[in-house]
Amino acid sequence: EAQVTQNPRYLITVTGKKLTVTCSQNMNHEYMSWYRQDPGLGLRQIYYSMNVEVTDKGDVPEGYKVSRKEKRNFPLILESPSPNQTSLYFCASSFSDLYNEQFFGPGTRLTVL
Amino acid sequence: GQNIDQPTEMTATEGAIVQINCTYQTSGFNGLFWYQQHAGEAPTFLSYNVLDGLEEKGRFSSFLSRSKGYSYLLLKELQMKDSASYLCAVPSGNTGKLIFGQGTTLQVKP
């Protein structure tokens, strides 16, 4: 089944404890992206990747890192999480670039205490 | 810069027609997306308009006017399952960024 998977789906952590949210797609998509969704603010893009080893900042990249060593994986890293990073996170991918339909993962609900 | 405006909430009756508007300002227009998001779920793709005019897909249609910076999503024969948020999004210039509006939450009532 063609899909985007994210892990974990739910995470409660404490300030400063490094964490990684994994994202994987099995559709051989080139474009991948991370978003956070907060009430009243909608979906905001954190980072995106046009292809392997090519990543760039979205609108809200502060406090996050990403890597794209393989085409299928695009992990989101929070080196030192803070409470303002409590949010719902979505990973998404599309076939060649952002001018195509994006397929979203199920979401990761993160709480930073 | 980019700016997208959508109404925050709308209510409509089952079986009726509803139009959800989206206005945008962007440098270098490269199309406009509509996504549907049910509560607690991931967004799913509805449409992508690049040229002016109306594109119809079953009960859902999407309209674009590039000169007016305006789009709308038209939902016909509303069903209870259409209760969801509808997100308008535009690519940002020639970057790889995608800018979303805040979304319109549609409630369909019996």
When scoring B24, B55, B100 by the number of chain A Cβ atoms within 10 A, the one with the most, hence best to mutate, is B100
A63-95 pLDDT per residue, tens: 999 999 999 999 999 999 999 999 999 999 999
User: Pick from B87, B96, B100: which is nearest to A56 by CB?
Assistant: B96
Residue B2: per-residue pLDDT: 73
Whether chain A has a CB inside 8 Å of the CB on B39: the answer is: no
Tens digits of pLDDT across chain B (110 residues): 678 999 999 999 999 999 999 999 988 888 999 999 999 999 999 999 999 999 999 999 999 999 999 999 999 999 999 999 999 999 987 788 999 999 999 999 99
CA distance readout (Å), A45 to A1, A36, B91: 26, 7, 11
Please give, rounded to a whole number of angstroms, the shortest distance from the CA of B79 to a CA of chain A. 24
User: Pick from A59, A99, A106: which is nearest to B42 by CB?
Assistant: A106
A-chain residues within 8 Å CB-CB of B62? none
d(CA B5, CA B100): 9
What is the 8-class DSSP label of residue A18? -
User: Pick from B91, B97, B101: which is nearest to A99 by CB?
Assistant: B91
